[in-house]
Structures are given as C-alpha cells and as structure tokens.
Structure 1
Amino acid sequence: MGELQTPIMLGLMIVVFYFFMIRPQQKKAKQEKEFESALKVGDRVITKSGIHGRIAELAEGSVVIETMAGKIKFERAAISPELTQKLNAPAVTK
C-alpha cells in the first residue's frame, strides 16, 4: 500500500497545481488576447501605467493613443483590460 501512495499523492498534487495555477493563467491570457484583438479606433482606454486616452491609430502590434498631451505609441499589451472595462462601463445611478 505504501508503494502506491506516493505516486497517487504526486499525481494529486500535479492536478491541484494545474487547476489552481496554470489553468487560470491560461484563461486570463486568452481573455487579454481577445480584448487586444477587439480594440478599434475611437475606443477610450487606460494603459497599465495609468495613461488615459482614445485610440487614434491601430497597427498590428501597437496602438497610437491620443491624450490631452498629444499622441503616444504603445504596444497593444500595454492597455489594461480591467481598467478600460471599468472606464467604459455604464454608470450606475441610484
């Protein structure tokens, strides 16, 4: 029985590690890719560094964001999906 217990515990640890660590990271990466591909000119966005603006131009891997200070070129990955979705969410009134 002791010989069988070690491989079972090791297998169980790998399964737990996969479901709590690897799978959520893969899911988040997929959501970020979908968000980046759905960007379009005119969208209001916030970068991960906190810069607010509108998308003025789109290229394959980058975007040009128009801010009050001018236009700045960023990688698409620099745009924060979470902050941008909060910015564009409809306001809740009571």
Structure 2
Amino acid sequence: MQGTDPMSSIIGAVLWMVILIAIFYFLLYRPQQQQRKKHQEFINSLKKGDKVVTSGGIIGEIKAIDEKTVTLKVSEGTMIKVLKTAVSAPFEEVEKKD
C-alpha cells in the first residue's frame, strides 16, 4: 500500500489558504476600502451651503469649513462645530405626498 505524497498535501494546504485569503479580500476588505474611498471623496467635496447629516443624525447646513472641522447651522442662531469625518452623507429632503 502506498502513502500519499507529502509534497502534494502541502501544496493542497497552501492552495486552500490562498483561496480563503482571496475570498476574504473580495468579500470583506475590498468593499470596505471602496466605501472608505467614496466617503473620503465626499468629505473632500464639501462646500459652504451643503446640507449634510452627521454620523450622530444631526442635520445641518455647512457655514464654514476648516482643515479638520465643519461648522453647521442646525437651527436659527445655533451653530455647532463637528469633525469632517463625522459628516456621513448629504441630506436630501423627501417631499411628503398626501
């Protein structure tokens, strides 16, 4: 009775590891990387007058932009300063249809 070739079992194990790493890359790492890049492009395109939503759910209009912060007008006479990275998305009002 012949045994299995130890070299073929090593090659098989390495092949499975490569396949698993490729699966993790394409299902987990790459989509996160693309999402992070898209968010960074959004942050870089912010300008005065844009209506945005912060990661905490605060809706406001940009009144001033610094290197790392954004000043938002959240209501008449109320201004808050938040980090640029806390701005999560543009705010688009949805009209209610009755």
Q: What TM-score does the superposition give when structure 2 sets the normalisation length?
A: 0.81
- AA at the equivalent of 2:92: N
**1:10-89 matched pairs, under 5 angstroms:** 10-68=17-75, 70-81=78-89, 84=90, 87-88=91-92
CA distance in 2, matches of 1:52, 1:90: 14
Q: How high is the sequence identity, in percent, across the aligned residues?
A: 31
**Unpaired stretches in structure 2, ≥5 consecutive residues:** 1-7
Q: Which has the higher helix share?
A: 1
Say whether residues 1:5 and 2:9 are aligned partners. no
RMSD over equivalenced CA pairs, Å? 1.9
More strand by share: 2
Give TM-score scaled by structure 1 length: 0.85
Greater C-alpha radius of gyration? 2
Name the aligned partner's letter for residue 72 of structure 2: I
Segments of 5+ residues of structure 1 without an aligned counterpart are none
Query: Aligned pair count?
Result: 89
The letter of the residue matching 2:87 is I
Poorly superposed stretches of 4+, deviation over 4 Å: none
Counterparts of 1:90 and 1:40, CA distance in 2: 22
Change (3 A) 1:89 1:11: farther
